[in-house]
Amino acid sequence: MRQIFPELGVNIDHVATLRNTREGFDPDPLSAAVLVKKAGASQLVCHLREDRRHIRDPDLFLFRSWKGLPVNLEMAMTDEMTIIALEVQPALVTLVPERREERTTEGGLVLGPDMCRRIEEFRKKCQECGIRLSLFLAPDPLDMERAMDLGVDQVELHTGEYANARDPLIRERELERLFRAADRVSGSPVRLAAGHGLDRDNLVPVLAIENLMEVNIGHSIIARSLFVGLEKAVIEVLDRIRQETPLARREAPLS
Ligand code: PXP
């Protein structure tokens, strides 16, 4: 028997956001990446936004030369970002919606006909370069169907509505939606990830999603790192994943 836990991706955008407030070098996102790896995370997540308020282009190239962890590049489906992604060739691209005035990514991608056409074109280019493609989607069964039709490698469920719900009934309902959406892709080749607004506590019920292979967490880890250090903040989440992933999904026969 081997144990299967969801992998942890750590989003280090807010390290760059802090650095950018003074337009200097500290804190250095690459040093943060080194600690994230040392702590045992599986991938580095970063969002190259149109306004470059988080990481910036040179950061991406540094991550690429470092090669310490696979990079999950979050980006909008624009021509500018397409060119950069194909040049940098991260392990994974996650397409996210982006509005300049938003504080953070507020919802999932809207998969209208034009977006689907652009994703299809981009998917082919990614495939040629060996870049895996993920879509950041609200937990909507129809969107899951569309993602499967598009033949993307991964879907990341937007957990923000669940994580931000204060009313326990709403939180429960949002959790249900996550489970239902996950069910929809279960048994398909689409790998399932989840992220947004997750922390050590609200992560626990999400870990019960049987086909969940990856969680991506940024804000809560970087916030916690101010008090305990980045390495420990990542280790705390990894420990929680190891302790709280239900036994039923933890054990699988060796293939
Ligand atoms: N996953 C995706 C696709 C995101 O856009 C973000 C936020 O940038 C995260 C995960 C991490 O969210 P948070 O910072 O709230 O943990």
Distance 169 CA to ligand 1 centre (A): 24
Q: Are 214 and 193 in contact (CB under 8 A)?
A: yes
Tens digit of pLDDT for each residue in 123-150?
A: 999 999 999 999 999 999 999 999 999 9
**Whole-angstrom distance, CA of residue 179 vs CA of residue 173:** 10
Element (H, E) at 216: strand 212-217
What pLDDT is recorded for position 208? 96
Q: What structural domains and CATH numbers belong to the chain?
A: 2-252 (3.20.20.70)
Element (H, E) at 214: strand 212-217
What pLDDT is recorded for position 83? 98
Question: Which atom belonging to ligand 1 lies closest to the Cα atom of 222?
Answer: 14
Report the pLDDT averaged over residues 228-250: 92
Report the pLDDT averaged over residues 101-118: 86
* DSSP SS3 for 122: helix
What pLDDT is recorded for position 121? 97
Closest by CA to 96, choosing from 216, 220, 198, is: 216
Distance 9 CA to ligand 1 centre (A): 10
**Whole-angstrom distance, CA of residue 69 vs CA of residue 33:** 8
Report the pLDDT averaged over residues 63-67: 96
Partnered with residue 158 across adjacent β-strands are 195
What pLDDT is recorded for position 254? 47
Closest by CA to 6, choosing from 205, 183, 147, is: 205
C-beta of 196 in contact with ligand 1 (< 6 A): yes
Pick 106 or 169 by higher pLDDT. 169
Tens digit of pLDDT for each residue in 160-199?
A: 999 999 999 999 999 999 999 999 999 999 999 999 999 9
What pLDDT is recorded for position 4? 83
The DSSP symbol for 92 reads: E
Q: Which residue has the tokens 């790896």?
A: 37
Structure tokens at 203: 């992560």
C-beta of 96 in contact with ligand 1 (< 6 A): yes
